[in-house]
Amino acid sequence: MKQSVKNIKTPIPRIAAVHDLSGYGRASLTVAIPVLSAMGMQVCPLPTAVLSSQTGSIKDFSFFDLTAQMQEIVGKWENLEVHFDAVYSGFLGSPKQVDIVSQLMQNLGKKEALFLVDPVLGDDGKLYATQTQEIVQNMRRLVEQADIITPNFTEVCFLLDMPYEEKISTKQAKDYLKALAAMGTSKKKKSVIITSAPCEDEHIVRILAYDTENKQFWQAKSPRVPASYPGTGDTFSSVLLGSLLQKDSLAMAMARAGRFVYEAMHMTYSYHTTYIDGIMLERTLPQLASHEMLPFEDF
């Protein structure tokens, strides 16, 4: 007898989280699962690769591509007829994985499912060690299908094939946001958040958003913590997705995610731990229940 979960109702949102699994350093699935679970979501992980550690400033790491296994897992999910309220795509380990994620969204996303793509490609103007130009090209195809994307500024430049700049004007920022939102040929409206936009004040971190539904630009700012930790982008996108599924507006979700990342970084910095260990998520997860946000405004 065929097993199926098609008609089994769940009182909480179910998310397919497509990320790598890094054994050391808090990033990707080891961030997404606890954050979204703490926000009341069921997380179904689809690992894209298994790594010995996160790769930020770590040169000696192992990398196991799970492209073939992903295809089989998605096939088994299709047999079970399990459907998702959201598909959340992060680090991809090969160009072919773009097609697998597309298949997952098209076949197993519910009618109103939210498709969030965090195009994990690079930082500080450079590609990550595991990423290639072929993955960049394929990532553009995935971005075209998304409901919301959350690139950092380096990833914005790769997606738009623009030179990386240390500073940009407000007009440039709006042009980049609109260009990203316009990527693709479908009529689907795409919202965009840039998680680390250049800011004139080097002591401030700025997050920018474009709400295509209302054609409105938003920004939120926080003090810059004098440290850099892996997994902060994964943390931001996870809190953002959880907030949206809790029916926060785009601006509120952006501000809530920004506040949580700032608090986690600030607390971690106070312990003077090595930055490759990532943010001390375990100490800050309870703050997700408070719904605290950064101040936000239109621009």
pLDDT string in tens for the chain (299-residue length): 577 777 777 889 999 999 999 999 999 999 999 999 999 999 999 999 999 999 988 989 999 999 999 999 999 999 999 999 999 999 999 999 999 999 999 999 999 999 999 999 999 999 998 999 999 999 999 999 999 999 999 999 999 999 999 889 999 999 999 999 999 766 677 999 999 998 888 899 999 999 998 999 999 999 999 999 999 999 999 999 999 999 999 999 999 999 999 999 999 999 999 999 999 999 999 999 988 999 989 98
Three-class SS state of 267:
helix
Eight-state DSSP code of residue 125: T
The pLDDT value given to residue 219: 97
The per-residue pLDDT for 67 is 98
**DSSP letter assigned to residue 136:** H
What is the spatial order of strands in the sheet that 204-211 belongs to? 63-65, 42-53, 14-24, 84-89, 109-117, 148-149, 191-197, 204-211, 216-223, 296-298
The pLDDT value recorded for residue 10 is 80
How far apart are alpha carbons 84 and 91 in whole angstroms?
19
- Asked if 159 and 143 count as a contact pair (C-beta separation under 8 A), the reply is yes
> Is this model's pTM higher than 0.85 or not?
yes
Beta bridge partner(s), residue 61:
none
Distance CA 223, CA 252 (A): 18
